[in-house]
Chains A and B, each alone.
Chain A
């Protein structure tokens, strides 16, 4: 079996350091398998958050060789093992211990966003007539597994911590807002919050969120920019404003 050195960050909110673990691994293993092997054999108290190990729950987010990734979906054969593989916790969230971070801010942010607010149902059984072509846009955003890798990589969070300051909701929640705002049955208005409180203007479209998304959601082009355009419609475009006032257009 081949060998690899894993350079894993060990520590807590007070500080910590990288420790090297040399271990064997077998074909087809993913980074999470190797971390578990190290945990079982060399470091029983190594903290790592994980659940399904199938890329569906979004728990095992970390940074492998500096790239925000799900450890369970990162195959060993995609990494150069001639050098140590660094594994460290997500940088944009306070560390709890070792590879585990405190992601509770994300749950607080979501609670602030206006929930789904449907128009009255149009069918007798209390459901809505919605066509596939209309639900598809929001369905893309529902693929999100809340791994928060997009929040981690976004420089507004990562370097400026605006998500912790309550100034910026981050890519995950623009995706969430986009799902709600483009839902064919929803009628709540979230544009003012998006512009002011949620800080959509802080996004400068570097598309890092789209790159790291394990669900391949086109976050920037399909969620954030369309929301920016909806905000522009309302607040930055005198023409559509006039049209709206005289009752033409949306």
Chain B
């Protein structure tokens, strides 16, 4: 049994369970499996959507996976059409110009790290379940020490909240020249996306630190104390917002795409 299976330990009286071995009798594998499927599905969909290079806008709506659109033949494009100096041999996928930022934010996010280390790396697959890795470096040294760049991605993520909020505003203007005010289902979809992303971004552990956590005495900084308490509120729901916002980003793209492909019609509310 457990203790007679001692394997590589330098400490003879301490055992180590082989890969995926555990005395747990609950369904410990169900959560990491769900995370594996959820994250993998999103990665596959977002990569596919980015490679499409089409159907990412519909009237005033712009898919968040393509926002901000830096170059393009669209009124959404920030810098207009693809410039002449863009090398011809380099395929142009506008989504990839920007997706690194939200992608990096999520990849280095403390919640996602803990989640995918389990689901995709099995390090460990679940609590109290044996590991395959004999050597372990964690985030102590190269390469995973680079997870510490998280706070830089946070700055970008905050900027994206502004950009996506502008997209919601632009999603309120309809008609051929976008001067007719209105609200469609798509506008709401874009708005919900910003709300959920805000819930996720404002719950960021790095933000919690920067906004107040780094100080031991906050009572003398009432503004920071309030802000820290607000971020803490989101932070305790970080996992929830992480999943809701992830799903909704995908859904928003899908919604715009379906409108653009004329699979369904966007309903005007106002």
Let me know if chains A and B touch directly in the complex, using CB atoms closer than 8 Å: yes
**Is chain B's interface secondary structure helix, strand, loop, or mixed overall?**
loop
Shortest C-beta distance, B94 to chain A (Å), equals 29
Pairwise interchain contact A204-B114, C-beta atoms closer than 8 A: yes
CB neighbours of A66 from chain B (8 A): 22-25, 128
Pairwise interchain contact B236-A221, C-beta atoms closer than 8 A: yes
Pairwise interchain contact A94-B128, C-beta atoms closer than 8 A: no
CB neighbours of A134 from chain B (8 A): 216-219
Q: A11 contacts the other chain (Cβ, under 8 Å)? A: yes
**Contact of A158 with B217 at beta-carbon distance under 8 Å, contacts A65-B24, A201-B145 already known:** no
Q: A67 contacts the other chain (Cβ, under 8 Å)? A: yes
Pairwise interchain contact A184-B117, C-beta atoms closer than 8 A: no
Pairwise interchain contact A67-B1, C-beta atoms closer than 8 A: no
Q: How far is the CA of A83 from the CA of B213 in the complex (A)?
A: 47
Q: How far is the CA of A67 from the CA of B23 in the complex (A)?
A: 8
B1-15 to A contact mask, C-beta < 8 Å, 1/0: 111100001111111
Pairwise interchain contact A204-B14, C-beta atoms closer than 8 A: no
Pairwise interchain contact A95-B3, C-beta atoms closer than 8 A: yes
- Stretch of B185-193, B201-209, B245-253, B256-264 lying at the A interface: B201-209
- Stretch of A22-30, A32-40, A53-61, A84-92 lying at the B interface: A84-92
Q: A220 contacts the other chain (Cβ, under 8 Å)? A: yes
Pairwise interchain contact A9-B25, C-beta atoms closer than 8 A: no
Pairwise interchain contact A65-B23, C-beta atoms closer than 8 A: yes
Shortest C-beta distance, B129 to chain A (Å), equals 9
Q: How far is the CA of A247 from the CA of B116 in the complex (A)?
A: 39
Shortest C-beta distance, B215 to chain A (Å), equals 7
Shortest C-beta distance, A101 to chain B (Å), equals 9
CB neighbours of B208 from chain A (8 A): 226, 229
Write the chain A residue with the least CB distance to B14: A94
B196-239 to A contact mask, C-beta < 8 Å, 1/0: 00000000011011100111111100000100000000011010
Q: A116 contacts the other chain (Cβ, under 8 Å)? A: no
Pairwise interchain contact A250-B127, C-beta atoms closer than 8 A: no
Q: B106 contacts the other chain (Cβ, under 8 Å)? A: no
Q: How far is the CA of A162 from the CA of B23 in the complex (A)?
A: 22
Q: How far is the CA of A153 from the CA of B130 in the complex (A)?
A: 11
Q: B138 contacts the other chain (Cβ, under 8 Å)? A: yes
Pairwise interchain contact A205-B114, C-beta atoms closer than 8 A: yes
Q: A44 contacts the other chain (Cβ, under 8 Å)? A: no
Q: B140 contacts the other chain (Cβ, under 8 Å)? A: yes
Shortest C-beta distance, A118 to chain B (Å), equals 12
Pairwise interchain contact B11-A94, C-beta atoms closer than 8 A: yes
Q: How far is the CA of A86 from the CA of B149 in the complex (A)?
A: 43
CB neighbours of A184 from chain B (8 A): 216-217
**Contact of A203 with B138 at beta-carbon distance under 8 Å, contacts A134-B216, A184-B216, A230-B214 already known:** yes
Q: How many A-B residue pairs have CB under 8 A?
A: 164
The tally of residues in B whose CB lies under 8 Å from a CB in A reads 59
Pairwise interchain contact A232-B151, C-beta atoms closer than 8 A: yes
CB neighbours of A16 from chain B (8 A): 3
CB neighbours of A11 from chain B (8 A): 3
Pairwise interchain contact B128-A208, C-beta atoms closer than 8 A: yes
Q: B67 contacts the other chain (Cβ, under 8 Å)? A: no
CB neighbours of A108 from chain B (8 A): none
Q: How far is the CA of A221 from the CA of B111 in the complex (A)?
A: 9
Q: B16 contacts the other chain (Cβ, under 8 Å)? A: yes
Q: A73 contacts the other chain (Cβ, under 8 Å)? A: no
**Which residues of A (150-181) have their CB < 8 Å from a CB of B?**
153, 155-156, 158-162, 164-165, 181
CB neighbours of B30 from chain A (8 A): none
Pairwise interchain contact A155-B123, C-beta atoms closer than 8 A: yes
CB neighbours of B13 from chain A (8 A): 13, 94-95, 102
Q: How far is the CA of A181 from the CA of B213 in the complex (A)?
A: 11
CB neighbours of B15 from chain A (8 A): 91
A67, A155, A181, A230 interface centre (most CB from chain B within 10 Å): A155
Pairwise interchain contact B23-A86, C-beta atoms closer than 8 A: yes
CB neighbours of B117 from chain A (8 A): 204-206
Q: B131 contacts the other chain (Cβ, under 8 Å)? A: yes
Q: A6 contacts the other chain (Cβ, under 8 Å)? A: no
Q: A133 contacts the other chain (Cβ, under 8 Å)? A: yes
Q: How far is the CA of A203 from the CA of B1 in the complex (A)?
A: 28
Q: A207 contacts the other chain (Cβ, under 8 Å)? A: yes
CB neighbours of A201 from chain B (8 A): 138-141, 145
Q: Offer 12 A-B interface pairs, CB within 8 angstroms, sorted by A.
A: A11-B3, A67-B128, A102-B13, A153-B127, A159-B124, A164-B10, A181-B216, A184-B216, A204-B144, A221-B238, A232-B206, A250-B214
Besides A159-B17, A206-B127, A232-B151, 18 new A-B residue pairs in contact (Cβ under 8 A), listed by A number: A9-B1, A86-B23, A88-B23, A131-B219, A133-B225, A153-B127, A155-B131, A161-B11, A162-B136, A164-B10, A201-B140, A207-B114, A225-B205, A226-B208, A230-B209, A233-B209, A237-B148, A237-B151
Please provide the 6 A-B residue pairs with the shortest distance between their CB atoms, ordered closest to farther. A66-B23, A201-B140, A66-B24, A94-B13, A208-B127, A229-B209
